Structure 1
Amino acid sequence: MTADDTVNQPSIALNSEVSAKCNEVVEEYRAGTASKVDAILRLQSIIPRSDDTEDQFKSALQSYVGMLDSADQARASAAKRGEQHDRSSSKRPRSPPESDDEDISEKPAKRSIDESRLPWVIDELLHPIELPPSLRLTRESLQLWSSNPKQYKASLTNAARCPEFPDSEWSNIIESKPINLDIVFAGHYSTSFDNRRTEKLGELELTFGETKPSKRIESAGDWLIAWTKASEALQFAFPHRERELREYGSYVTQLFGAVHPSRHHRVLQYEKAIRRRVSARRDLSLTDFSRFADLHLLHIDSSGAVALDEDSRPQARPNRGGDSRKRPGKGVEACRRWNEGRCPVDAARCRYTHICSTCRSREHTAEQCTNRARAN
C-alpha cells in the first residue's frame, strides 16, 4: 500500500492499522526475528509521509526507533546481570553491613521514564486529538499534580481562600477521582473530626480510622446541598471550569424536576455514573450530555437494565392499615450493610430498612448509636 493509498483511507481505520503494524515490527525485533535495519526500513514504509506531515512522520519514526533502542538496552542489561551473577556465585558472600542505617540510606533511586517511547504517547503523536481549551487546561493541571499529589494537596488546602471540604475529597480532586457526595453531605451536618492516619510500609500505604458517612443522599435537596459544596471546591481547584460546573448542576436539577420523586434515586445513580465516567477520561467534560445517552438509558429510562431489575424485585407487603411503607418497628429487619456503611443502594431501593439495628432510629447507624455505647 502506497502512502497516497493510505491517506485516502478513513482516518479511524488508518490510525488503528498504522499503530498495529508498527507495534508488530517492534515486537518482531524484540523477539529477535528481525534485524534492526529491516525494522527501521519497514517502519519508514508503514508510517504515512507527505509534505504536510513530515514533522509528524519524523517524530513518530524517532519514537519507534527509540523503542528498538530500548530493546537493545534491555538485552544488554540482561546480559550484564547474567555476567554479574556468574561472578558473584563463585565468590564468597559479602559481609553484612555494619549498621541498619546503611541499608536505609542506600535506597535505590527511582529512574525517570522516557515518555517518547511509550506506545500511547506515540499514538497521540501519530493521531493528535484537538481538545477544547477547558479540557486541555484540566489535563495539564492533573498531569502536573500527579508528579507529587501530597505536595500539591498541601499547597491547595493551605491557600487563604480554600473552601471547607472533606480532606479525603480534596485527595480525590487532586487525583482525578470522583467526589463521594455522601461524604460531603454527611460532613455538612457532622461535628466529629476526621481522624484518619496513614502509615507507609515500604511502597505500601495503609490508611486507618477512615470515617464512614453517617448520612447518605436520598433526595434532590440532599444532592443540591452536597453539589453546591463540591462545585465550590472543584471551581477553586479548576477556575476555568466555572461554567461547566454551573451548567451541570442546572442539568441535574432539571432532571429532578422532570422525574417523579419516587424515581429520584435513579437520577442519583445516573448522576453518579456521569461523574465516574468523566473522572476516568481526559476527553470528556460534565456538559458533554450526548456522550451519556447509554447511562441515561441504563439508569433512568423504564427500559434500562437498572430499572427493569428494580421492577422485578418483590415489593413490600402492605400492613393492616394499608400503608406499604416500612416502619422501624420490631417486625422490620434493619439493613446490616447500611449499619456497616457499605450498602450499595439507597433506602428507596433496599429490600431492608435503613435504621439503626440497636435503637431502630433512622438518624444514625449502629456504629454511631449512643445506646450501644451505654450498653458496653
Structure 2
Amino acid sequence: EEPNAPPAKRAKQDSSRFNWASDAFIKRSVLSAKHTKVIEAVENYKLDLDTALDSVEQSGLNPWFPKKLWKAVLKDEYVELSEVLAMATTQHKPDTSRSVSNAFAEALESTNLIKPTPSKAIVDQVTWRRAWQGTADAINFAFADRGKELNRYEQHIQRQFDDNRPSFHQNVIQYDRAVRLLIGSRRDLLFDDFEHADIARFRTVYLLPTGIHFSLSDSSPAQPGTRSRNQVKERAKEVCRKFNRGECSGCDRIHSCWTCGESGHGGETCKKGRK
C-alpha cells in the first residue's frame, strides 16, 4: 500500500435493511400530526444536543429544572421525578459545598463524577404533583403545543390518587413510573395516550388487586375495633383535596397546598403553581 494513500472510505449504513424498517415506516406514516411534530422536534434536537442544551440555558426563558435532566427532556425520554423533587425542595437552600468556583468544577456539575445525583422519594400525591409539574413545565418549554396533553396526563394520575385510599397510592406512583418509562422508550405514544392497550395493561398489573405488581403499604390485617381508629389516622395524614379546590368547610385532614406544600392556601390559588 502507498504510505500516503487516503484511508478507505467507510461504508454508509443502510437503515432500510434493518429488520424492523418496513414496519416502522408504515407505523410512522399513520401517526397523528401531533405525534409527528414531537418526533421531528426530537430529531432536530438530537442533531446537536450540546448546542440545544446551551441554547436552553442561554435563552433566559427556561423553567428551573435539574441541568442533568434537560437532555432527557429534549430527547423526549423518561425523567426521574425524584431528582426533580429534590431540586424543587432545596432550590432556596444556599449551596455551601464549594467555596471556590472554577471552570473544571463547574463542568463536573453536569456529570456524575463528583457525587450521586440528589433525589427525594415520591411518596404521595403531593410530592408526585410537585415533581410532575416541574417536569411538565420543562417538556412544555421544549415542545410547542403539548400543554393540553400534559394536563390530561396529570388529571389522569390525580384521578387515580383521588379515587383510592392512601394505602393504595404507592401503586399509583409505580403505575405512573411504568407508564412514563414506556412512553419515553417509544415514539408512537404521548402522555394522553393512556387508553392505549400497552398502557391500559399497566393499570391491570399495578392498580387491580389481582395484578402481579399490586401491593398495599400496610398489608397487615386490621384487628377488631381498630378499623375506625386507623381510618382517622389515615385521614389525618392526607392532604385535603376539597381544601385545595376551595370547597372544604372544615375537616381533620391536612389543609396545605398540594403544589408548594405550604399552609394557608390551596392549590387553586397557589402563586407558585403553573401560570
What TM-score, normalized by structure 1, do the two folds share? Answer: 0.49
Tell me, yes or no, if structure 1 residue 282 matches structure 2 residue 182.
Answer: no
Residue 161 of structure 2: aligned partner: 256
Aligned pair in 2 of structure 1 residues 313, 215: CA closer, same or farther (>3 Å)? Answer: closer
- Identify which of 155, 174, 178 aligns with 1:269: 174
SS in 2 for 1:264: helix
- Contact 1:185 / 1:222 at 8 angstroms: preserved in 2? yes
Residue 102 of structure 2: aligned partner: none
Aligned pair in 2 of structure 1 residues 128, 216: CA closer, same or farther (>3 Å)? Answer: closer
Distance 1:118 1:259 in 2: 45
Greater shift, 153-162 or 185-194, is seen at 185-194
How do residues 165-184 of structure 1 correspond to structure 2 at under 5 angstroms? 165-184=65-84
Distance 2:209 2:142 in 1: 37
Q: Could you tell me which amino acid in structure 2 is paired with residue 260 of structure 1?
A: R
Distance 1:311 1:126 in 2: 42
Q: Could you tell me which amino acid in structure 1 is paired with residue 195 of structure 2?
A: S
User: Structure with the greater relative contact order (CA < 8 A, sep ≥ 6): 1 or 2?
Assistant: 2
Q: Could you tell me which amino acid in structure 2 is paired with residue 267 of structure 1?
A: V
- Contact 2:84 / 2:119 at 8 angstroms: preserved in 1? no
Distance 1:303 1:261 in 2: 19
What is the Cα deviation at residue 109 of structure 1?
A: 9.4
Distance 2:25 2:85 in 1: 43
Aligned pair in 2 of structure 1 residues 139, 312: CA closer, same or farther (>3 Å)? Answer: closer
Q: Could you tell me which amino acid in structure 2 is paired with residue 141 of structure 1?
A: A
Distance 1:124 1:215 in 2: 38
- Identify which of 166, 169, 186 aligns with 2:86: 186
Residue 254 of structure 2: aligned partner: none
Residue 57 of structure 2: aligned partner: 157
Q: Once superposed, what is the RMSD of the aligned Cα atoms?
A: 3.6
Residue 261 of structure 2: aligned partner: none
Q: Which has the larger share of helix?
A: 1
Distance 1:233 1:133 in 2: 22
Residue 46 of structure 2: aligned partner: 146
Distance 2:218 2:124 in 1: 22
What is the Cα deviation at residue 133 of structure 1?
A: 1.2
What is the Cα deviation at residue 107 of structure 1?
A: 11
In structure 1, runs of 5+ residues without a counterpart are 1-83, 89-93, 95-105, 200-205, 325-376
- Contact 2:108 / 2:114 at 8 angstroms: preserved in 1? no
Distance 2:176 2:108 in 1: 31
How many pairs align? Answer: 209
- Contact 1:197 / 1:208 at 8 angstroms: preserved in 2? no
Residue 304 of structure 1: aligned partner: 211
Q: Could you tell me which amino acid in structure 1 is paired with residue 53 of structure 2?
A: K
In structure 2, runs of 5+ residues without a counterpart are 99-104, 224-228, 231-275
Distance 2:15 2:116 in 1: 38
Distance 2:57 2:8 in 1: 32
Distance 2:32 2:188 in 1: 9
Residue 201 of structure 2: aligned partner: 294
- Contact 2:161 / 2:172 at 8 angstroms: preserved in 1? yes
Tell me, yes or no, if structure 1 residue 240 matches structure 2 residue 145.
Answer: yes
- Contact 1:145 / 1:152 at 8 angstroms: preserved in 2? yes
- Contact 2:72 / 2:78 at 8 angstroms: preserved in 1? yes
- Contact 1:196 / 1:207 at 8 angstroms: preserved in 2? no
- Identify which of 120, 127, 131 aligns with 1:226: 131
Identity %: 23
Cα-to-partner distance string for 1:202-232 (whole Å, 9 max, x where unaligned): xxxx740243335211110111111111111
Answer with 1 or 2: which has the greater Rg.
1
Cα-to-partner distance string for 1:95-115 (whole Å, 9 max, x where unaligned): xxxxxxxxxxx9999876444
What is the Cα deviation at residue 239 of structure 1?
A: 1.5
Q: Could you tell me which amino acid in structure 2 is paired with residue 299 of structure 1?
A: Y
How do residues 1-376 of structure 1 correspond to structure 2 at under 5 angstroms? 113-125=13-25, 129-190=29-90, 191=93, 192=95, 197=107, 207-291=112-196, 292-307=199-214, 310=215, 315=220
Distance 2:170 2:187 in 1: 28
SS in 2 for 1:157: helix
Distance 2:7 2:49 in 1: 21
Distance 1:226 1:288 in 2: 21
Aligned pair in 2 of structure 1 residues 207, 213: CA closer, same or farther (>3 Å)? Answer: closer
Q: Could you tell me which amino acid in structure 2 is paired with residue 215 of structure 1?
A: K
Distance 1:302 1:127 in 2: 34
Aligned pair in 2 of structure 1 residues 196, 254: CA closer, same or farther (>3 Å)? Answer: farther
